[in-house]
């Protein structure tokens, strides 16, 4: 018998385990919470989550509704205001051609958000499928996939993407998919190792002994049990993809004019960064704010899913 | 143990070779080094274009497999081919490699050391004010792309110079051409150029290291063996330092390899932002100039750096964790 | 026995309470407990998980997490421990006060050698001690705790030690500075019975050498019965009974103690009568009801019991024997007897149950794993003979138990069975069909005839599916339509004693015992002929086990099921099995009807296993003599010529050279001896005393 009472860690108690039963009174006096409800309860009480989620919502509105409310479009040139710092007329100032920086930022953010929200979850989906498959099937297929992941990780993703630049050229839609194709490896490794340990868990063994085929076992038991990890990864992945997009665009390997993204705006603002800093500060500020919101939400999710994970792992 | 290490290193070497070759294939099939020549008016005769292509070893009429083979065997002989400016890639890289390594080595070593210390400190003083400050700063750093951080630091430095009224911090290039040739003046000039990009790289490295080390340390805080160490008569603090830190360092060896790739990418971007003539700049400009061999050469350089860091991380891992030694 | 009357006690715990603040409701882990330990005494603290037994001892050591709020007073040799700071406490810890933890793998720092860790303990309290002297002393200590080849082993890292050896090293560390009190916190829980017996012997030896008092924390009544002078019983953070070991086992006055004792099977008597289940579970420590915490499970609770919490008081002749129960006086006086409080369910239908046809035949089953090693090129360097020629039959309606230490291949055997694919070698015949000849479709169909119940109920069901779906899974795999599945789930829930309305709930809402019932219901879903059980009760609390065992017996008799029951707890095995097969290193060494094997074990290994199993009866424990095995189970990759057991065999050591030569030269096969088959050359010379 293994009454490893010292191993039972109670919620929120880091440090030496204490013999407190994890879930003391199920089914009776107070109906205990399901795992999802528990996660939601922890999430609800995390200020970080609310700060991040609210500002994320605000930024999405800023990027979608904002341009409709603005009196300017991105092509408009205000001949009275060339190169002016922020004022009551142009809140974020104007560039040398009299473009309104505020509306430029809104539209740029829109593109960056689209890229992030498509490429991030796409990369996670790839990671889930490849990782779960490799981990569950094992054997040669697993070895090949693991080696391929190692191969993909030899070069920093940034280098792979700029090598691929001539292939996708300036087409940001194709770039979005390349971002996903080069961003799944680390998570796939995590899912793979999780799956390997899940595969040895009794309930997965039981399903196998009942005669379910691998695909059913993976979809019924493996993916749902790593779902929380996937949600976290998809969230943080959005941020990572936006970061990749802005960096690529900044150096001329991403979104190309006349399309506008945060990256292209930063590129435009860079030259004058030390003299007319508003050109750079405005898109940079929005970018940092966006990343901060996404990371806050992602970290709050991670802490809610696994209270022992500590704060963000970076 | 030695054999285990050799096995791992051999695997890395194969990975590096395959990855570099694939990169060459990618560059060689997609880049058109003669685009400039072909666009000239009046048109350059096809024969001379072919001559250039042949000299670069990228004539599309030669089968790809043969081109790759020639490149690969040449690399084994230490010949990386020619750039489109008719220089040996090797020569072009030699000077730049030193510039990049200077930035990378200082950045990664100092970043790692500072990060590890901050991480341990943060974990032990969890939720105290100092820990909170480090946490907030790291959130901000994580949210900011490297190049933005670089440019922001330039804006900050400009303000600073303006405030004190002299150009104390210089941030363009590695050195100023007009510095007097005396040793101290040269050194001071180099240092003042080095300051900003290195600082940014250290901040980025230290942030990720400190987060990771802090987590690793937090995992260790609750470990049974810390309790055992205390039960032997060590105070909490000494148990954490003698038993905890030692174990918490183990995952850092893996993280070192992982983070080094990110750091290289970061350093590349910083070189461009700060107009350093390093390998990062070579990589970027050679892609823009469709210079196949230079692209392949700089990719190889990065891959070899990663190879070295992975090897180092394996050795560190084996040194830190007796469980992998056999 | 220690002198309880004279002198000041070594340790006095007065009104100790430990609270863990936790959001809305604090967890009251320990509530107002007081006890004493005298010099040289052996105190046993017994309780189930969550009873507060470990927390109270960690409080004595001052090793609770910082979040814990500790009140009361702890006096050790006259010094108040709770008022000391960490620095002052650390001078006492490890020198006068030592502790042995449960899991010796995680309790040792993985990156330092065993020797360094012992030396550290020595040099911390003796600054003058040189490094060399400390190492010499470490080797000496390792020899004392029975680690062979100590001079070499002192340089080994913890991961190079087996579980038993790590626990020995922990004890060596604890006794390094001749402590006055050793707290042993479940020191043998993670270990096999044979190793457990060795470790307890080492602990007794350590106690003899140092003269220290020992406080042994355990959930195992048998372990306490054999070693303790006095026993404290804890329940829901309270001490509910305290007395000498004989008082606790023979004249208990608290219903919880009584229920616990009656629910535990005894290897001597098991199988003849039903176990007494102790229904319900301990209350949540974060939401304690008013009154006695045991009242909800107590069959003789009065209205008062739900309102006023009883205090620990003497009720009988001896004022040292105390218990916390409002009706203890009635119990002590004999007005309420244990059988009245916890009546035994009706007796088992004894005698030979109808012996049906054979449903499962395993012949010479072999499962070998290649052992790979090598640097650049991996090559096969050996073979792990996990299962190496195992044969048995199971008849309809009968139970076969497979017992043995961990690593003996018992679990591999049944998992190989469950794969339902052609074995590496040998034959498996289920329902008259050789499974090597099955087609894909046949195999899927045949899966409904053999199902498995796993050890850990928490791991065996997918936490993300409602239990109705969990139970219906095997039916889904068989393609049973939805309507029929739902109906069957309701039947099954009823069958295992759960409410049919619970199908909607999720596994985490159930207790361990209930979850194991869900696992059993799932196993029965397809109405199998054979149910394979892998340690089905070993992850459950003692008081919960009885109910699950009773359920399995009922189901077997009601449904005519055949059970293949893998377990290491011999008392549980005796309670439920008809036949038993004892496995050692991939082979069956003794096989026969349970009563024959257990009453008169013929193989020296069976004898050693039997004698290592603790008996929850202090008198029986004192009388028995033990057959202790040397060392650990060898690795199944090791090549041992002749009899595999001879490296640890107590009989082998007594044999003359000629006889030994036969053990070395000839691998013994199973030979019939009466109804029992034994794989030993010298059954007739085996005169070892069996406890």
Tens of pLDDT, residue by residue over B87-109, are 787 888 888 888 888 888 888 88
Out of A3, A13, A203, the one facing C460 most closely (by C-beta) is A203
Residue B152: its chain A contacts at CB < 8 A? 284
Nearest 10 degrees: CA dihedral of A66, A72, A76, A81? Answer: -120
How distant is the Cα of C210 from the closest Cα of chain A, in angstroms?
27
**Torsion sign across C-alpha atoms A26, A31, A34, A38:** negative
Between chains, do C107 and B236 touch, taking CB under 8 Å as contact?
A: no
List the Cα angle C522/C528/C533 in 5-degree steps.
60
pLDDT for A90: 65
Assess whether pLDDT exceeds 90 at residue C656.
no
In 3D space, the residue among B273, B292, B276, B122 whose CA is nearest the CA of residue B211 turns out to be: B122
**Listed residue (C413, C478, C476, C414) closest to C442, CA to CA:** C478
Q: How many helices (H) and strands (E) does chain C have?
A: 25, 24
Q: How far apart are alpha carbons C683 and C691 in whole angstroms?
A: 18
Closest residue of B to C182, CA-based?
Answer: B231
Task: Check B147 against A150: CB less than 8 A apart.
Answer: no
- Helix (H) and strand (E) counts in chain A: 13, 0
Size of interface A-B (CB pairs under 8 A): 138
Beta-carbon separation of A309 and B146 below 8 A: no
CA-based diameter of chain B, in Å? 88
* pLDDT band at residue C44 under the 50/70/90 scheme: very high
Cβ(C359)–Cβ(C564) below 8 Å? no
Average pLDDT of the residues of chain B? 81
Contact with chain C for residue B224, Cβ under 8 A: yes
Residue C43 has pLDDT above 90, yes or no: yes
pLDDT at C564 over 90: yes
Whether the complex's predicted ipTM is more than 0.90 is answered with no
- Per DSSP, helices labelled H in C478-559 are 482-495, 512-524, 542-559
What would the pLDDT profile of B248-304 be if each residue is shown by its tens digit? Answer: 888 888 888 878 888 888 888 888 888 888 888 888 888 888 888 888 888 888 888
pLDDT at residue C186 above 80? yes
Residues 155-214 of C with CB under 8 A from B: 157, 159, 170, 173
| Nearest alpha-carbon partner for B323 in C375, C156, C381 | C156
* Contact list, B241 vs chain C (CB under 8 Å): none
Across the interface, of B2, B231, B322, the residue whose CB is closest to C94 is: B231
Put simply, the answer to whether C20 touches A20 (Cβ < 8 Å) is yes
- Encode pLDDT of B134-185 as tens digits: 888 888 888 888 888 888 888 888 888 878 777 766 766 666 666 666 777 7
List chain A residues with CB under 8 Å of B146.
247
Q: Residue B24: list chain A partners with CB under 8 A.
A: none
C-alpha to C-alpha distance for C55 and C48, rounded to whole angstroms: 12
Q: How far is A310 from chain B (nearest CA, A)?
A: 6
Q: Please report residues of A whose CB lies closer than 8 A to that of B303.
A: 154-155
Identify which of A9, A155, A295 has the shortest CB distance to residue B142: A295
CA distance to partner chain A, nearest, from residue B283 (Å)? 9
Give the pLDDT score at A81. 65
Nearest 5°: CA angle at C340, between C339 and C345?
A: 60
C partners (3+ CB pairs within 8 A) are A, B
Closest C-alpha among A244, A270, A240, A271 to residue A255: A244
**Residue C115 Cα, gap to closest chain B Cα (Å):** 14
Lowest-pLDDT range of A223-227, A299-303, B160-164, C684-688:
C684-688
CB–CB of A288/B144 below 8 Å? Answer: yes
Subunit contact C375:B3, Cβ cutoff 8 A? yes
CB A131, CB A192: distance < 8 Å? yes
CB C421 within 8 A of CB C427: no
Contact between C159 and B322 using a beta-carbon 8 Å cutoff? yes
Residue A18's pLDDT is what? Answer: 32
The per-residue pLDDT for C582 is: 94
Q: How many CB pairs under 8 A join B and C?
A: 85
Q: Which of A229, A225, A306, A299 is nearest to A9 (CA)?
A: A306
Main-chain dihedrals φ then ψ at residue C426, nearest 5 degrees? 95, -175
Instruction: Answer whether B287 sits within 8 Å of A166, measured CB to CB.
Output: yes
Segment C402-452, tens digit of pLDDT: 998 888 888 889 988 888 888 888 899 988 888 888 888 888 888 888 999
Closest approach of B45 to chain C, Cα-based (Å): 54
Task: Give the H or E element holding residue C533.
Answer: strand C530-534
**Residue C347 banded pLDDT, cuts 50, 70, 90:** low
Distance CA C150, CA C450 (A): 48
Chain B neighbours (≥3 Cβ pairs under 8 A) are A, C
Mean pLDDT of A89-111: 77
Pairwise CB contact (< 8 Å): B3 & C374: yes
Residue B195 is encoded by which pair of tokens? 């300051």
Q: Which residues of C touch B319 (CB under 8 A)?
A: none
Residues in chain B: 326
Residue % of chain A over a pLDDT of 70? 81
Examine the pLDDT at A2 and tell me if it is beyond 70.
no
At residue A7, the pLDDT reads: 27
Distance from chain centroid for Cα C390: 26
The whole-number pLDDT of residue C638 equals: 80
Say whether C285 and A3 touch across the interface (CB within 8 A). no
DSSP string for residues in C105-133:
TTTS-TTS-HHHHHHHHHHHH-TT--HHH
Q: Can you give the pLDDT at residue A313?
A: 32
Using an 8 Å CB-CB cutoff, list chain C residues near B227: 63, 101, 107
User: Are the C-beta atoms of residues C456 and C539 closer than 8 Å to each other?
Assistant: yes
Q: What is the pLDDT of residue C375?
A: 47
- Residue C379: the pLDDT is 67
pLDDT in tens, C64-90: 888 888 999 999 888 888 888 888 888
pLDDT at residue number A5 = 27
Q: State the distance between the two ends of chain C, measured CA to CA, in whole angstroms.
A: 22
Query: Closest approach of chain A CAs to the CA of C523, in angstroms?
Result: 9
Q: Nearest residue of B to residue A155 by CA position?
A: B303
Any B CB within 8 A of A166 CB: yes
CA distances from B113 to B106, B213, B258, C308 (A): 11, 11, 16, 60
Residues of chain B in contact with residue A308, where contact means CB-CB under 8 angstroms, are 219
Number of DSSP helices (H) and strands (E) in chain B, helices first? 14, 0
For C616-633, what is the mean pLDDT?
81
Helices (H), A138-261: 139-152, 157-168, 172-181, 185-199, 202-210, 214-217, 223-250
pTM assigned to the model: 0.80
When pLDDT is averaged across residues C319-323 and rounded to a whole number, the result is 87
- Minimum-distance CB partner of A163 among B18, B27, B215: B27
Summarised one tens digit per residue, pLDDT across range C350-382 is 545 556 788 899 999 998 888 776 545 566 777
Q: Which chain C residues are within 8 Å of A308, Cβ to Cβ?
A: none
Taking contacts as CB-CB distances below 8 angstroms, the residues of chain A near B207 are 314
| Chain C residues with beta carbon closer than 8 angstroms to that of A6 | 54, 101-103, 185-186
Contacts of A174 (CB under 8 A, 6+ apart): A168
What number is the average pLDDT over the span C145-154?
A: 86
pLDDT of B35 higher than 60: yes
Of C65, C186, C569, the CB nearest to A16: C65
Cross-chain residue pair C542–A1, CB shorter than 8 Å: yes
Residue B230 Cα, gap to closest chain C Cα (Å): 7
Nearest CA in chain B to A167: B30
- Cβ contacts of C55 on chain B, cutoff 8 Å: none
pLDDT surpasses 50 at C282? yes
Is C580's pLDDT higher than 80?
yes
pLDDT value for C589: 93
| Beta-carbon count within 10 A of B219 CB | 18
Tell me whether B243 touches chain C (CB under 8 Å).
yes
Would strands C399-403 and C562-567 be described as parallel, antiparallel, or unpaired? parallel
Taking contacts as CB-CB distances below 8 angstroms, the residues of chain C near A29 are: 287
Query: Cβ(B149)–Cβ(B141) under 8 Å?
Result: yes
* A102 CB-near residues (< 8 Å, 6+ apart): A70, A72, A90, A91, A92, A282
pLDDT band at residue A9, thresholds of 50, 70 and 90? very low
- pLDDT value, residue A14: 29
Q: Please, what is the Cα angle at B40 between B37 and B46, to 5 degrees? A: 55
pLDDT band at A310; cut points 50, 70, 90:
very low
Closest approach of A5 to chain C, Cα-based (Å): 5
Q: Which of C406, C509, C517 to mutate to test the interface with A (most CBs of A within 10 A)?
A: C509
CB C506 within 8 A of CB C538: no
**How far is residue B220's CA from residue C49's CA, in Å, rounded to a whole number?**
24
| Chain B residues in contact with C65 (beta carbon < 8 A) | 222
Report in angstroms the alpha-carbon separations of A121 from A145, A236, A304. 21, 9, 20
Q: Would you state the pLDDT for residue C400?
A: 93
- Return the pLDDT at B173: 66
Q: Which residue of A has its CA nearest to C525?
A: A210
pLDDT tens for C192-217 read 888 888 888 888 888 888 888 999 99
Question: Are C84 and A32 in contact, with CB atoms under 8 Å apart?
Answer: no
Please report the pLDDT score of residue C355 as a whole number.
63
CB C28 within 8 A of CB C293: no
CB C315 within 8 A of CB C332: yes
Considering only CB atoms, C510 lies closest to which of A1, A14, A27, namely A27
- Residues A241, A179: Cα–Cα separation, whole Å: 7
Whether chain C has a CB inside 8 Å of the CB on A200: the answer is no
Q: What is the mean pLDDT of chain C?
A: 85
For range A100-128, the mean pLDDT:
87
Q: Nearest to residue C55, comparing CAs of C65, C41, C44?
A: C65
| Residue of C23, C193, C284, C469 to mutate, testing the A interface (most A Cβ within 10 Å of its Cβ) | C284
């Amino acid at each position: 018998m293994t009454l490893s009472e010292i191993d039972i860690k109670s919620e929120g108690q880091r440090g030496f385990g204490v013999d407190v039963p994890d879930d003391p009174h199920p089914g009776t006096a107070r109906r205990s919470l399901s795992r999802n409800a528990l996660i939601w309860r922890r999430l609800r009480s995390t200020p970080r989550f609310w700060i991040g989620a609210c500002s994320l919502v605000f930024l999405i509105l800023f990027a979608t509704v904002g341009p409709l409310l603005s009196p300017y479009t991105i092509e408009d040139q205000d001949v009275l205001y060339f190169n002016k710092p922020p004022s009551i007329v142009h809140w974020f100032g104007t560039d040398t051609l009299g473009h309104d920086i505020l509306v430029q930022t809104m539209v740029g953010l829109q593109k960056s958000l689209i890229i992030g929200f498509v490429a991030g979850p796409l990369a996670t989906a790839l990671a889930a499928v490849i990782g779960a498959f490799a981990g569950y099937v094992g054997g040669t297929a697993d070895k090949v996939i693991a080696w391929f992941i190692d191969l993909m990780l030899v070069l920093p993703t940034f280098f792979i993407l700029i090598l691929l630049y001539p292939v996708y050229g300036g087409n940001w839609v194709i770039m979005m998919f390349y971002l996903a194709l080069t961003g799944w490896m680390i998570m796939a490794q995590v899912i793979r190792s999780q799956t390997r340990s899940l595969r040895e868990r009794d309930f997965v063994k039981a399903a196998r002994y009942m005669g379910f085929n691998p695909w059913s076992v993976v979809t019924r038991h493996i993916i749902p049990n790593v779902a929380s990890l996937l949600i976290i990864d998809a969230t943080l992945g959005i941020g990572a993809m936006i970061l990749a997009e802005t960096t690529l665009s900044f150096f001329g390997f991403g979104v190309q004019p006349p399309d506008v993204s945060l990256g292209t705006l930063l590129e435009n603002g860079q030259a004058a960064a030390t003299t007319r800093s508003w050109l750079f500060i405005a898109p940079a500020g929005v970018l940092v704010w966006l990343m901060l919101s996404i990371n806050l939400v992602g970290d709050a999710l991670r802490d809610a899913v696994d209270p022992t994970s500590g704060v963000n792992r970076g | 143990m030695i054999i285990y290490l050799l096995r791992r290193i051999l695997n890395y070497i194969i990975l590096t070779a395959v990855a570099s070759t694939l990169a060459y294939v990618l560059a060689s099939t997609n880049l058109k080094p003669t685009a400039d020549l072909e666009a000239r008016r009046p048109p350059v005769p096809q024969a001379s274009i072919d001559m250039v292509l042949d000299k670069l070893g990228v004539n599309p009429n030669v089968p790809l497999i043969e081109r790759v083979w020639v490149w690969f065997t040449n690399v084994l002989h230490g010949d990386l081919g020619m750039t489109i400016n008719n220089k040996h890639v090797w020569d072009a890289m030699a000077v730049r490699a030193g510039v990049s390594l200077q930035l990378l080595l200082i950045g990664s070593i100092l970043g790692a050391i500072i990060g590890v210390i901050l991480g341990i400190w943060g974990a032990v003083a969890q939720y105290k004010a100092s820990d909170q400050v480090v946490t907030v700063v790291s959130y901000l750093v994580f949210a900011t792309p490297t190049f933005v951080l670089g440019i922001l630091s330039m804006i900050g430095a400009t303000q600073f110079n303006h405030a004190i009224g002299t150009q104390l911090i210089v941030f363009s290039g590695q050195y100023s051409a007009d510095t007097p040739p005396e040793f101290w003046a040269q050194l001071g000039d180099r240092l003042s150029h080095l300051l900003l990009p290195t600082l940014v790289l250290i901040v980025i490295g230290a942030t990720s290291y400190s987060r990771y080390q802090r987590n690793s340390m937090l995992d260790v805080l609750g470990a049974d063996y810390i309790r055992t160490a205390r039960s032997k008569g060590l105070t909490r603090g000494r148990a954490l330092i003698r038993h905890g830190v030692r174990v918490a360092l183990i995952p850092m060896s893996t993280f070192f390899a992982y983070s080094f790739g990110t750091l290289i990418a970061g350093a590349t971007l910083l070189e461009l932002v700060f107009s350093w003539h390093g390998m990062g700049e070579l990589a970027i400009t050679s892609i823009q100039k469709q210079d196949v061999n230079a692209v392949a050469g700089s990719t190889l350089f990065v891959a070899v750096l990663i190879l070295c860091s992975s090897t180092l991380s394996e050795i560190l891992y084996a040194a830190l964790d007796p469980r992998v030694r056999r | 026995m220690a002198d309880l009357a004279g002198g000041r006690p070594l340790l006095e715990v007065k009104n100790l309470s430990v609270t863990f603040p936790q959001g809305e409701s604090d967890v009251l882990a320990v509530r107002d407990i007081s006890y004493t330990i005298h010099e040289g005494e052996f105190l046993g603290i017994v309780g189930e998980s969550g009873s507060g037994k470990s927390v109270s001892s960690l409080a004595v050591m001052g090793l609770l997490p910082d979040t814990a709020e500790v009140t009361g007073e702890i006096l050790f040799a006259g010094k108040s421990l709770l008022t000391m700071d960490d620095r002052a406490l650390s001078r006492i810890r490890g020198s006068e006060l030592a502790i042995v933890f449960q899991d010796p793998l995680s309790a040792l720092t993985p990156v330092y050698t065993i020797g360094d860790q012992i030396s550290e303990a020595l040099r911390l309290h003796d600054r003058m001690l040189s490094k060399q002297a400390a190492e010499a002393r470490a080797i000496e200590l390792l020899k004392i705790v029975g680690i062979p080849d100590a001079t070499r082993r002192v340089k080994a890292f913890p991961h190079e030690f087996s579980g038993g050896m790590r626990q020995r090293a922990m004890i060596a560390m604890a006794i390094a500075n001749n402590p006055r009190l050793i707290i042993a916190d479940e020191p043998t829980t993670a270990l096999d019975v044979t190793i457990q017996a060795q470790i307890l012997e080492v602990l007794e030896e350590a106690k003899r050498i140092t003269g220290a008092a020992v406080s042994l924390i355990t959930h195992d009544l048998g372990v306490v019965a054999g070693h303790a002078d006095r026993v404290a019983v804890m329940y829901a953070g309270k001490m509910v009974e305290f007395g000498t070991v004989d008082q606790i086992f023979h004249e208990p006055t608290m219903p919880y103690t009584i229920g616990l004792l009656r629910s535990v099977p005894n290897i001597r008597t098991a199988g003849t009568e039903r176990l007494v289940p102790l229904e319900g579970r301990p209350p949540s420590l974060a939401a304690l009801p008013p009154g006695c915490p045991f009242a909800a499970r107590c069959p003789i609770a009065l209205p008062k019991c739900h309102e006023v919490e009883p205090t620990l008081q003497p009720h009988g002749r001896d004022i040292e024997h105390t218990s916390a129960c409002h009706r203890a006086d009635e119990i002590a006086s004999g007005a309420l007897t244990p059988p009245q409080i916890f009546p035994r369910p009706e007796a088992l239908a004894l005698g030979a149950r109808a012996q049906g046809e054979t449903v499962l035949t395993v012949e010479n089953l072999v499962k070998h794993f290649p052992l790979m090693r090598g640097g650049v090129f991996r090559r096969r360097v050996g073979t792990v003979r996990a299962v190496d020629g195992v044969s048995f039959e199971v008849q309809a309606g009968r139970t076969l138990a497979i017992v043995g230490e961990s690593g003996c291949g018992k679990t591999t055997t049944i998992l190989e069975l469950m794969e339902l694919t052609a074995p590496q070698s040998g034959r498996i015949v289920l329902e008259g069909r050789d499974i090597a000849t099955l087609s894909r479709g046949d195999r899927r169909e045949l899966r409904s005839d053999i199902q498995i119940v796993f050890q850990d109920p928490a791991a065996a069901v997918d936490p993300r599916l409602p239990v109705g779906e969990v139970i219906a899974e095997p039916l889904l795999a068989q393609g049973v339509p939805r309507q029929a599945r739902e109906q069957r789930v309701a039947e099954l829930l009823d069958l295992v004693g759960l409410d049919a309305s619970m199908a909607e709930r999720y596994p985490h809402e159930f207790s361990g015992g209930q979850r194991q019932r869900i696992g059993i219901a799932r196993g029965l879903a397809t109405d199998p002929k054979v149910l394979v059980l892998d340690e089905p009760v070993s992850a459950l609390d003692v008081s919960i086990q009885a109910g699950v065992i009773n359920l399995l017996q009922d189901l077997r008799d009601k449904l005519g099921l055949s059970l293949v029951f893998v377990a290491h707890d011999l008392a549980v095995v005796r309670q439920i099995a008809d036949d038993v097969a004892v496995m050692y290193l991939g082979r069956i060494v003794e096989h026969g009807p349970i009563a024959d094997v257990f009453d008169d074990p013929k193989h020296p290994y069976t004898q050693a296993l039997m004698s290592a199993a603790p008996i929850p009866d202090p008198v029986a424990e004192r009388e028995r003599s033990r057959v202790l095995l040397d060392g650990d189970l060898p690795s199944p990759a090791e090549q041992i010529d002749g009899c595999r057991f001879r490296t640890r065999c107590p009989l082998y050591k007594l044999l003359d050279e000629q006889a030994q030569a036969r053990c070395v030269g000839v691998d013994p096969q199973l030979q019939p001896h009466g109804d029992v088959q034994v794989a030993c050359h010298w059954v007739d010379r085996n005169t070892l005393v069996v406890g």
